[in-house]
């Protein structure tokens, strides 16, 4: 099952807008800001969406900026984001999907509640047949694949 949910440990108190596709054939689900923020030139800021994604074990959610953001010099600091299936409900932050935005322009970029902060695309992935058995489980949150045995 693939679905989005609002996290319980929210970063804001506003009504959360659920991710949605803009058109019938859009691949990406637009994510929206739950907060106001002015991103200064050359500044990076982590904005959590207050959304988590449940997905199949062989799914990954790839995060990207929108083309409209790119035209204004706003990019993801790590180029793309990779949300693994086991990020959902992790003990660190409940799976809250965050966008590390960077302003590469010389102008301020204003983000208001409800503005798009990026998009996510669900993709199936493959593993190699002769892989060593991986039995570790995620315990970390954003920017972490801290595991336990």
The pLDDT, as a whole number, for residue 132 is: 81
**CA gap 29, 19 in Å, rounded:** 5
Q: What is the CATH number of the domain that holds 57?
A: 2.70.40.10
- Beta strands, E only, 17-148: 29-32, 37-39, 44-48, 51-54, 59-64, 74-76, 81-84, 98-103, 109-111, 116-124, 137-138, 147-148
Can you tell me the mean pLDDT for 119-131?
93
| Token pair in block for residue 55 | 């997905």
The per-residue pLDDT for range 51-72, each reduced to its tens digit, is 999 999 999 999 999 999 999 9
Residue 130 lies in a domain: no
83 has a pLDDT exceeding 80: yes
Domain count for the chain, please give it. 1
Residue 22 lies in a domain: no
Name, in order, each residue with C-beta under 8 angstroms of 41's C-beta and a sequence gap of 6 or more.
103, 105, 106, 107, 108
**CA gap 17, 7 in Å, rounded:** 12
Residue 79 lies in a domain: yes
Type and span of the H or E element at 72: none
**CA gap 40, 113 in Å, rounded:** 17
pTM, to two decimals? 0.88
Nearest one of 101, 13, 10, 88 to 53, comparing CA atoms: 88
Residue 95: pLDDT band (50, 70, 90) is: very high
Residue 104 lies in a domain: yes
| Token pair in block for residue 35 | 């907060």
Residue 94 lies in a domain: yes
Name, in order, each residue with C-beta under 8 angstroms of 61's C-beta and a sequence gap of 6 or more.
53, 55, 82, 83, 97, 120, 121, 122, 123
Least confidently predicted of 77-81, 126-130, 139-143: 139-143
């Amino acid at each position: 099952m693939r679905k989005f949910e609002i996290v319980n440990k929210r970063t804001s108190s506003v009504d959360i807008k659920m991710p949605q596709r803009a058109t019938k054939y859009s691949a990406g689900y637009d994510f929206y800001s739950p907060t106001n923020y002015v991103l200064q030139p050359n500044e990076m800021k982590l904005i959590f969406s207050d959304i988590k994604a449940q997905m199949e074990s062989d799914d990954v959610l790839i995060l990207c900026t929108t083309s409209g953001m790119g035209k204004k010099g706003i990019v993801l600091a790590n180029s793309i984001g990779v949300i693994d299936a086991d990020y959902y409900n992790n003990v660190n932050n409940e799976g809250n999907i965050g966008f590390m935005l960077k302003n590469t322009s010389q102008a301020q970029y204003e983000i208001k509640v409800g503005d798009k902060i990026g998009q996510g695309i669900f993709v199936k992935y493959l593993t190699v047949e002769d892989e060593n058995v991986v039995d570790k489980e995620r315990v970390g949150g954003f920017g972490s694949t801290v595991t336990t045995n």
